[in-house]
Chain A
């Protein structure tokens, strides 16, 4: 790892390539047989998956109820638009705030636990929120959820931008994605990031060195939950509704699958790849067969069995293999 300074510490080449692909997406997505709204969905889930990977990939904490915070964000956005004032900024602020509060409360229970107990408790808490969303009719609208959430214009003080078209919405989501990517990249390469990676490797030793492991685990969960909340808020804005489905065990499982298939355990970009693969699989397999989940599930099982490092891991070992063979060719010449 080279210690970068200046611009290269903030922006890297893979980042530029990703941004370039995503910025150009609206111009070619129609011609490959897909549709504009899919781009919005993909970018939102990329944000969700990136935030989730902070927990799973970098701190090694398996949360299996993360859909809950996504859902809290969605409901918070919807409720703020329906009952307070109509403003995107206020809505997203509420999404982040309430998801962070929910995450902080849950993390206070969780952060002493490890391993399987941790996973079990995240499932239990995720289900609590899911149940609340279904049963608390007066607030959440029950199984139907919140409908007809308005999508107000984006206010910048002196001027405002309408988000009615899918393209405008896409670029707004992309802008937030860029902020999240750069923010997370800096966080991971900060001293804080080093400590959470140490917790993943050996929690007990990290504690012995003198770090307050509980506080790190608590804060990383809260942070991850607030990013999930941001994604949820955007999702409610895009869907113009919020419903309990996104909080179910299945939705929570999907984000774990995205991160794993993409290769979040070994790469920063794993969640981004995984989210794209998931939605492409959904639309392409879904067009071909009604039981696309069956095939996606089998694909997922195959990934875990044969290449648990996911797509990014496969790419890394491919590159490493190529470099090694290049080294072998070089050696006789230099020696």
Chain B
């Protein structure tokens, strides 16, 4: 029983981490599905989202006069929620700009899209260094969700619960959007067969622009939630984009449920190894991947897809 109790915080941390990984992976997968582009800039946009949020929360716009004073006077929680909405939108716009650059690569070897986004990742990371410096930054969280509490004789971090809860709500919203709205139906159809979608009279380039913006918004959202846990460095994105890759491969490209299950699986693996062999915690997810891929070549829920050609 003691053993289980000691394990509990690691389980909670692991599941929370996994759900956030899944959120990053979902945006990544939407982009892979509709555009057949491996977006290597996903991690940089994840970091950019957190930096934007930090900027919005810390903003002291004296030059706006009364408006600025009103903003500074707002409670921390409101400013935080405001950042949680505005920062992903800004990142979404950056993502749309990137999609515009990507247009020349459609229909060519998927390698070119991957390389273009690799270049973009470098550029974004350097821009972050230029604007915010190379050092470690802190994203302020409002007092309502920070701090810790004691339950059953163990110390629990409130923020971890907030992060996990937020990720569950966000994933549920994405699921609702994809499964229960006509826009979601178009996106899914676009991932299945984009030529047919175009033949049905849907503006494919607008769809791609929208999906790319939406996908990177999810990354930015995850970045804001993750920043207080991981800290904020210009290259923090790499730590986020690699698990996202793994989750996609593990869960199977194109499977929503697969991404969520694989995300939680990866999170649990990382969380539990952190408990017993903290050095190797990030290594464990690669081993998990290799084990799964050995037995199920297309991942847990993968089907044969056009991306393999």
> Which residues of A line the B interface, CB within 8 A?
56, 60, 62, 64, 109, 112-117, 119-121, 123-125, 127-128, 131-132, 135, 249, 253, 256-257, 260, 291, 293-294, 296-298, 300-301, 304-306, 308
Interface of A is mostly: helix
Within 8 A of A (CB), among B99-136: 101, 104-105, 108-112, 114-116, 118-120, 122-123, 125-127, 129-130
Expressed in whole angstroms, the minimum distance between the Cβ of B30 and any Cβ of chain A is 14
User: When chains A and B are docked, how far (Å) is the Cα of A260 from the Cα of B116?
Assistant: 11
Q: At the interface with chain A, which of B8-16, B141-149, B209-217, B283-291?
A: B283-291
| Chain B residues closer than 8 Å to A119, beta-carbon distance | 38, 111, 114
Which range contains the number of B residues in contact with the other chain? 35 or more
User: When chains A and B are docked, how far (Å) is the Cα of A127 from the Cα of B118?
Assistant: 16
Q: At the interface with chain A, which of B88-96, B159-167, B188-196, B242-250?
A: B242-250
16 additional A-B pairs beyond A112-B297, A117-B253, A123-B245, beta carbons within 8 Å, are A62-B114, A115-B110, A116-B36, A116-B307, A117-B307, A120-B38, A124-B245, A125-B286, A127-B242, A128-B290, A135-B280, A135-B283, A294-B123, A297-B122, A304-B104, A308-B112
> Which residues of B line the A interface, CB within 8 A?
32, 36, 38, 40, 101, 104-105, 108-112, 114-116, 118-120, 122-123, 125-127, 129-130, 238, 242, 245-246, 248-249, 253, 279-280, 282-283, 286-287, 289-290, 293-294, 297-298, 307-309
The 22 sampled A-B contact pairs (Cβ below 8 Å) are A109-B290, A114-B309, A115-B308, A116-B36, A116-B307, A117-B253, A121-B249, A123-B242, A127-B242, A127-B286, A131-B282, A135-B279, A253-B122, A291-B130, A293-B122, A293-B126, A296-B122, A297-B119, A297-B126, A298-B119, A304-B115, A308-B105
Residue ID in chain B nearest A106 by CB atoms: B290
A121, A125, A306, most chain B CB atoms within 10 A? A121
Residue ID in chain A nearest B43 by CB atoms: A249
| Chain A residues closer than 8 Å to B249, beta-carbon distance | 117, 120-121, 124
Q: Is the CB of B114 within 8 A of A131?
A: no
